[in-house]
Amino acid sequence: MPETVKGPVADLGATLMHEHVFGLSPEILWNWPDLPEGWDEERRAREAAAKLDALKGAGVDTIVDLTVVGLGRYVPAVQRVAELTSVNIVAATGLYTYDALPPYFANRGPGSLFGGPDRLAEFFVRDLTEGIGRTGVKAAMLKCASDHLGLTKGCERVFRAVAEAHLATGAPITTHSHSASRGGLDQQKLLASLGVDLSRVVIGHAGDSTDVAYLEELVANGSYLGMDRFGIDSISPFERRVAVVAEMCERGHAGRMVLGHDSYCFNDRFDADVVRRRHPDYHLLHISRDVLPALRGRGVTEDQIHQMLVGNPRRIFA
């Protein structure tokens, strides 16, 4: 059974595969706690739970919280949210960087200042099999990232550790990719060379692309496509995102797509008022309220929608 923050569940139901509960900046919070966007854990947990309750009312049962080290993961606060809502929250492990590793890892491991073994995979496996920190919450998905810089030395080290943890545990992998440079293909090539079955991989942010040939190549290699930034219109506007998903469904690929927003219930790294002005649809209800009706209007069937929201996540976590 898939692991969630509150423990294993029999069925995840309708699932958004790329979301975040909290994105935090610990050193800022520790040293300047009185900033207006500061951190009151109980207040923020209740706000997040209310947003998730509204999502449940819109027909979504589960979110996959892909907040890992590098994005401000703090699982005790997510546990509190899980206590307050009936929405399942799936936790992830991994490390988010486009290049440099946090000094703890940059100064340890192969090729580092002090050398020694690479402990990244050890940490990831512990999160998956024993629990994150002292919370007892087991992660259920691995995450790694590369962006416009490509597979830098730091990124490659994380990908290698993620592959090692995947092979040790069987946990699925999701990525952050840069669609404009067709970066998902390089990710697939590296992961495959490390022994990863690409059918256990979601290439995240594939929905930023309007290059259907690129998307079909990712699918042909076996991976799922993360159509998971609905609401971030500055990268690709609503109509294009909807059109690409509809076209991929028409081409028979509904069984290889998952949906999401890449949204946060609370994120201290961006000014919330500015985000609301620039991206008014960047919230957890956008897919339910706007995207699904638009897909139906383009001929996407209920079976295909069910496949993207229910069937594919179920298979990924099987």
Write the pLDDT tens digit of every residue in 16-50: 999 999 999 999 989 998 887 778 999 999 999 99
CA distance 214 to 231: 22
Percent of the chain with pLDDT over 90: 92
Residue 112 pLDDT greater than 90, yes or no: no
pLDDT tens digit string along 48-75? 999 999 999 999 999 999 999 999 999 9
- Write out the two tokens for 124: 């990831």
- Region of 196 (left: φ > 0; alpha: ψ -120 to 50; beta: rest) is beta
CA atoms within 13 A on the CB side of 165: 32
Q: Where are the alpha helices (DSSP H) in 32-152?
A: 41-57, 75-84, 103-106, 120-129
Q: Report how far apart the first and last C-alpha atoms of the chain are (Å, whole number).
A: 7
- By three-state DSSP, how is residue 174 classified? strand
Kindly report the pTM of this predicted structure: 0.97
Work out the number of other CB atoms within 10 angstroms of the CB of residue 99: 12
pLDDT tens digit string along 160-213? 999 999 999 999 999 999 999 999 999 999 999 999 999 999 999 999 999 999
Angstrom CA distances, 25 to 126, 239, 248, 263, 269, stand at 23, 33, 38, 17, 7
- Supply the pLDDT for residue 111: 84
Work out the number of other CB atoms within 10 angstroms of the CB of residue 195: 10
Work out the number of other CB atoms within 10 angstroms of the CB of residue 306: 13
Closest listed residue to residue 288, CA positions, set 311, 271, 267, 263 = 263
Contact 159, 190 (CB under 8 A): yes
Residue 200, Cα to own-chain centre: how many angstroms?
14
